[in-house]
Each structure stands twice: as C-alpha cells, then as structure tokens.
Amino acid sequence: MKRSVSAVAVVWEGEWLLFDCGEATQVQVMRAGLHSSRLRAILITHLHGDHFNGLPGLLSTMGLDGREEELVVIGPPGIREYLALLRKLKVVYLAYPVDVREFGPDRAAGAVRVYESPRYSVSALPLDHRVFTLGYRIEERARPGRFNLERALEIGIPEGPLFGRLQAGHDVVLSDGRAVRSLDVVGPPRPGKILAYCTDTRPCRAGVELGSSANLLIHEATFATDLASEAGEYGHSTATQAARIAEAAKPARLVITHISARYPDARPLLGEARSIFENVALAEDLMEFDVQD
C-alpha cells in the first residue's frame, strides 16, 4: 500500500511540525529519519480516527525516549479531553510538558493564529467536513536577502564570521578600517515560504484562502469526479474539485492526498487534477517535497 492514513511532517533545519497523526505515525517517523526530540507541535485537523489515532503511540514513544522539551498539541474542541483521558487511563506516558490548545467554531471570523516561532507562524480556518475541521496555513517570516559571495570577495572581506554578520543585516568594519554595509553584499529581503494543509473537506472558500499564493498546497482528493455526489455526502472533495481550489488560490504547486482505498491506482485522479491545474503531484508514503521559492 502506497498511502497510509494522514500524517504530514513539515521540516525546517533543526525542527519540524506534524499535521495530523494517523495510526502508526510513530513508525513512519522512524522510517523517515525524523528525530522526535525536534518535534515542536502536533496540529490535528479533526477528531476522526484516521487523523489522530496515532497520538497515543507517538506521545508515549517520545516519553520513553526521554523527551524533556515541551510539546504543543493543537486541535479542535475535544482534543484536550481526549488527551486527559489517555493520561488518566495510563494509556500514554508523558514525563514532559504538553501545551494543549483548542480552537473551535466560536472563535472570531477569519483566520486564527494558533502557533508562532521566531521563524514562522501557523494560522487556521474551519473547513467544510461532517465534523468541525481545521485547515492550516504555515507562513515563514521574511528571510534575509541572498549573500553575494563573489562581490564580498571582490571587496576583500575575509571568509568567516564577518560573512554571517553581513548576512544578518549588520554593517562591519574590516581590519584595514574600511566600512562595509550589509546592503553592499546582501540582496533585498526574500518573502517567506508558505504551505497550506486542507483535509478533510468539501471544496470551500477557506481552502482558497488558506492556499492563496502558497508555495505548496496539500489538499484532499478522496474521489474521482464520477463520485462527486458521494464526496459531497461524506464531506470530501474530488480530484477535480481540489484542482479548482488550486486554480482559484494560485499556489505554485498542488499535492493531492487522502485518496480513497478504492483506488489502488490513483493515477486517473492525478490526470483529472492536471487537466485543470498543471503543477500537481500525487502523495505517497514517505514522499518528500522541497518547498521552492
């Protein structure tokens, strides 16, 4: 089987986030070579088992591995009660702090900031599923401009710590007394990268808003177009509908996921999506995507 239940890791150098945590996610984490000690937050979309049944195993594994750093768990109402029950029944072993944050439909209209770090932030919007479901948008903060190595060497800046200071936006003084401004060797700031994660959901405006101008939009495509009626009944999207969301949101790339098990060969769904939005990929287990500028 090429696709297990839902779990998506978003990795930066030195840390990562996990979106959804289906059954046996801890096994996939090990297969992917990810270090659980560097996991900063788990963000659950909704309380259907294929999206959170892996939490007990992953949380317990991290406890047994000696994790000490705080872990943030974000999700819809009910996630706090669920984790409290697991602890009460001693299903999970948590020797490390867990900050549980719930976000429900009573929140003010518009996207809600649910997680922040010095390098990025995560916001959420309700999607359109059979139960309350959150979609997420990760926005990297603006990054320093590109360092012009050729220009730096031409000026006579010695390789080493001064490069780092200039890259960070600081002006420096060379040993011969010459002042060099950061803007002499560093280009203009670059916008941060954006990734959106939308599953499970019918096609909705929130999916367009979350995926707007993203570098990468991950959107569910449970069924092919001939099952559009069934998709709507069960709160899902077809591959064509996912592509229509991408067409409106204009991300650089679309990845379709959450494919029904009735499709052992999901290439027809990929073809449907590509007939509308050209840059589409079909998710498979342990597949990696580099989020490009």
Positions marked catalytic: 50
Question: Quick check: 200 and 46 in contact, CB under 8 A?
Answer: yes
Distances (CA, A) of 254 to 59, 70, 211, 232: 30, 32, 9, 21
If phi over 0 gives left and psi between -120 and 50 gives alpha, with beta otherwise, what is residue 97?
beta
Q: At 77, is the secondary structure helix, strand, or coil? A: coil
The DSSP annotation for 192-219 comes to PPEEEEE-S--S-HHHHHHHTT-SEEEE
Among residues 70, 136, 128, the alpha carbon closest in space to that of 97 is found at: 70
Helix-helix angle 79-88:55-64, to 10 degrees: 50
Cis peptide before 128 (omega within 30 of 0): no
> Residue 175 carries which side chain, given as an amino acid letter?
S
